[in-house]
A and B are shown apart, each in its own frame.
Chain A
Amino acid sequence: MRQFRTSLALPAVAAGIATLAGTAIAVGIITNPTTATDPPTGPAPVVSAQAMPEMSMHPTASPTAASGQDAPVATNAVAIQNFAFSPAIVTVKVGTTVTWTNRDQDAHTATAMSGGFHSPTLNAGQSYQYTFTTPGRFEYLCTIHPFMTATVVVTP
């Protein structure tokens, strides 16, 4: 079972009270950890500047991925910060919704190199979600800063 902790680095646009599934949550408070398994609900892709449960959660190991950046991490939350995707490689099971959150001041995108998902421009604080329905290895980049590359590995 993965462990999660709250993030204190949420962007201003996401600050405040968000309501999801009838539960009012305050930023910085641990939400229902079971939501981190991300049942494939809702359309994908979507973009949102609203605070979603996934946005406040990171793997305990290394939320900034400053070390071991290229080691696969089992998480459905990717931070975009310091002009890098963090973690650089994530592993999820089929049906998982991955959330990218831009924590930089500059804008970014998360765009699959071989098609599949293409976020709109994510300004500071905005998030993008995509649900992976097929297994495989999905390499992606930021079209605004194409030196920023990363991978989602989807397992059966």
Chain B
Amino acid sequence: MSAPLDPKGMSRRQLLRHTAWFGAAVVLTVTGGEVISHLGGTPAAAAAQDPHALRFVQISDSHLGFHGPANADVTGSFSRAINQVNALGLRPDFVMHTGDLTHLSTPDQFDQVRQMLGGLRTGAVFTVPGEHDSVDDHGQKYRAMFGSGTHGDGWYSFDVKGVHVIALVNTLALERLGHLGADQLDFVRNDVANLPSDTPIVVFSHIPLFAMYPAWGWGTDDATQALSYLRRFSSVTCLNGHVHQLFSKTENNITFYSATTTAYPLPHPGQGPGPIPLTLPAGQLGTALGVRDVTYQPGQHALAIRDRKLA
């Protein structure tokens, strides 16, 4: 059992920064129902075999407490996702949940999700909040449970195996779109100011940091400012949740990956009146849910992202 850890627990001095990432086109392949992306043509499987590689998992949008026809058992599907992570065959360095842990931010839902996350076999569990985690208290209950060692409204950074990880909060001051705010922008600028430009950067947020579909709020109004601090780095990878579906986009040195959910699908952008939970035909829900594992292999300059359908 692994409890959520203090983000400050990993020292920047532990870094292995002699390696570099190089921006490259994202290659997507589909094998056995898995969507695999990798940079530079390095096979994902090869990276996974390297014991020195960084390997982490992203899960998202579990919405514990949701009741509706789109998924009658979100607890069950989240439990299956956790079991799937534990069965990956290699203990991930950390697991990041990118928000909407709960559906309505109730104490019972937070307690339940914390207990379930404790069942992950991993080095550490990290989270960022979704808007469903701050429904009525500006994130106070979320931070009481998951905010130890964080800054401001819950943002933080850490370093692991040569990678600098930044976890942002863009769901608290939102007005239609996600919003970071001046304090958090200052944090990002200062956080990376002294990093060598060949440091690989991974950024987590709930709402996308790119304009995936602003009409539905799928974007962050001041993300451009935050990303401007990251333009000098060789490779930046932004991983988000919120949209309940896979999507990828590359802008110069920055690649964005939207993750799917463990709870219920949402429509593709613009299809329908809004991002309203989709009820799929019987037996098809699992095909829309999933978990993501990511491998960074320093010696190969490779990033591999593998999205797996819920087993």
Chain A residues at the B interface, C-beta cutoff of 8 Å: 82-84, 105-107, 109, 113, 118, 120-121, 141, 143-149
How distant is A82 from chain B, measured CB to nearest CB, in Å? 7
Chain B residues with CB below 8 A from A121, complex form = 104-105, 135-136
| B130 nearest CB neighbor, chain A only | A144
Contact of B274 with A149 in the complex, beta carbons under 8 Å: no
Contact of A144 with B273 in the complex, beta carbons under 8 Å: no
Contact of B273 with A82 in the complex, beta carbons under 8 Å: yes
Contact of A147 with B275 in the complex, beta carbons under 8 Å: yes
CA distance in complex: A144, B217 (Å):
12
Chain B residues with CB below 8 A from A118, complex form = 136
Task: Say whether B123 faces chain A, with CB atoms less than 8 Å apart.
Answer: no
Contact of B275 with A143 in the complex, beta carbons under 8 Å: no
Chain B residues at the A interface, C-beta cutoff of 8 Å: 66-68, 103-105, 131-132, 134-136, 174-176, 215-217, 273-277
CA distance in complex: A84, B273 (Å):
9
Nearest 4 Cβ contacts at the A-B interface:
A147-B217, A83-B276, A147-B216, A113-B175
How distant is B274 from chain A, measured CB to nearest CB, in Å? 5
Given A144-B104, A146-B176, A149-B176, A109 and B274 touching (CB < 8 A)?
no
Could you name 23 residue pairs across A and B whose Cβ atoms are closer than 8 Å? Answer: A82-B273, A82-B276, A83-B276, A84-B273, A105-B67, A105-B68, A106-B277, A107-B103, A107-B104, A120-B136, A121-B104, A121-B105, A121-B136, A143-B131, A143-B134, A143-B135, A143-B136, A144-B131, A146-B131, A146-B217, A147-B275, A148-B274, A149-B176
| B272 nearest CB neighbor, chain A only | A83
How distant is A37 from chain B, measured CB to nearest CB, in Å? 30
Contact of A144 with B277 in the complex, beta carbons under 8 Å: no
Contact of B104 with A141 in the complex, beta carbons under 8 Å: no
| A139 nearest CB neighbor, chain B only | B175
Q: Is the interface of B mostly helix, strand, loop or mixed?
A: loop
How distant is B42 from chain A, measured CB to nearest CB, in Å? 38
Chain B residues with CB below 8 A from A120, complex form = 136
| A118 nearest CB neighbor, chain B only | B136
CA distance in complex: A11, B291 (Å):
37
| A105 nearest CB neighbor, chain B only | B68
| B171 nearest CB neighbor, chain A only | A146
Contact of A147 with B176 in the complex, beta carbons under 8 Å: yes
CA distance in complex: A22, B105 (Å):
37
- Interface core residue of B66, B105, B175 (most chain A CB under 10 Å): B175
Contact of A144 with B67 in the complex, beta carbons under 8 Å: no
Chain A residues with CB below 8 A from B217, complex form = 146-147
Contact of A109 with B175 in the complex, beta carbons under 8 Å: no
- Interface core residue of A107, A109, A120 (most chain B CB under 10 Å): A107
Chain A residues with CB below 8 A from B275, complex form = 145, 147
Chain B residues with CB below 8 A from A113, complex form = 175
Contact of A84 with B104 in the complex, beta carbons under 8 Å: no
CA distance in complex: A83, B276 (Å):
7
Contact of A83 with B104 in the complex, beta carbons under 8 Å: no
CA distance in complex: A144, B175 (Å):
12
Contact of A83 with B273 in the complex, beta carbons under 8 Å: yes
How distant is B111 from chain A, measured CB to nearest CB, in Å? 17
Contact of A144 with B274 in the complex, beta carbons under 8 Å: no
Chain A residues with CB below 8 A from B66, complex form = 106
